[in-house]
Every structure is written in structure tokens, then in C-alpha cells.
Amino acid sequence: MNKQEIIRQIERLFSGTDARDWRVVEATFSEKVLLDYSSMTGLPAAVLTREEIIRQWSAFLPGFDSTKHQLGGFQMEFGENSAIVHLDGKADHYLNDRIWSVEGTYDVKVEFMNGDWLICEFKFNFLNQSGDTDLPSQAIKRLEDKLV
């Protein structure tokens, strides 16, 4: 098990997201992923294809001027060809000189498939938010109005 390869793969997910490089993001996911933002959104976890995840994220995140994810505190539990990764995260979302920050932890399951560590489960555990909590709705409106 190569801990650094797994960390790099998770970092690629977030750096690709911040860069809006959806091909990089897609390459970090297995074909289907259990995606769980229930602690933040109240919506139940769901199994989605990587394409569905990209469609959701690319319909929301580009409404911000930029985002910056900060990760740390990586801890791992290894299985035979899998690992559960626990990490801390903070996401800053910027729009028109304002910021909305979200903090929490992630539980990410990766499996070794086709010569790479791919994310098959992704759970965000919401802790708190700060800044302008109206920015998400403004980002969505911005995309709907095609002002990006």
C-alpha cells in the first residue's frame, strides 16, 4: 500500500475541482461512487456515476470566481486492495470579493483498480461554515444568468 499515492490521488480530486479541470476530477473516481453530503445538505447519500458527479459539480462550482480547498490530517486504514482515508478539509468559495468557507472532515474509500487508486466512496462530514452564506445561491443564479 502506497500512502503517498493515495494522498496524491485525493489531492488531485480537489486541485482538479479548484481548477475546474473535470477530466482530472473524473480520473480520480471509480465508475460508480457513493457520494454523501447529507450532513450539510440533508439529502441522502446516493450512488452516482463519475459523470453524474461531474455534471453536478460543474453546474455549481463555476458560479464562483474561484474555490480553494485546503486538506490535512490524513489518516488511513488499509484493507486488501482498499483504504479508508480520513482527512480534514476547508473549502473557501470566492465571489465578487466575498467569501463563503465550509469546514469539515472527509471519509474517502479508495480501491486499487486498473493500476490506480480510485475513489469509490466520498463522504463529507460538515462541521461549520462562515462568511457570506448567501454566496451559493448567488453562484447558482450567476450560472443561470450566464454571467460567468
Average pLDDT in the 122-126 region?
98
Which residue range forms the structural domain that includes residue 30?
A: 3-138
In a domain, 70, yes or no: yes
In a domain, 46, yes or no: yes
> Residue 126: which CATH number?
3.10.450.50
In a domain, 121, yes or no: yes
Grid-cell match 486499487, residue found: 112
SS3 content of the chain, % helix, strand, coil (to 5): 30, 50, 20
- Single pTM value for the model: 0.93
27: phi then psi, degrees, rounded to nearest 5: -70, -10
Tens of pLDDT, residue by residue over 64-122, are 999 999 999 999 999 999 999 999 999 999 999 999 999 999 999 999 998 999 999 99
- Between the CA of residue 129 and those of 22, 74, 85, what are the distances in Å? 25, 21, 23
In a domain, 47, yes or no: yes
In a domain, 45, yes or no: yes
The tally of domains found in the chain comes to 1
Close Cβ partners of 46 (under 8 Å, ≥ 6 residues apart): 34, 35, 36
In a domain, 143, yes or no: no
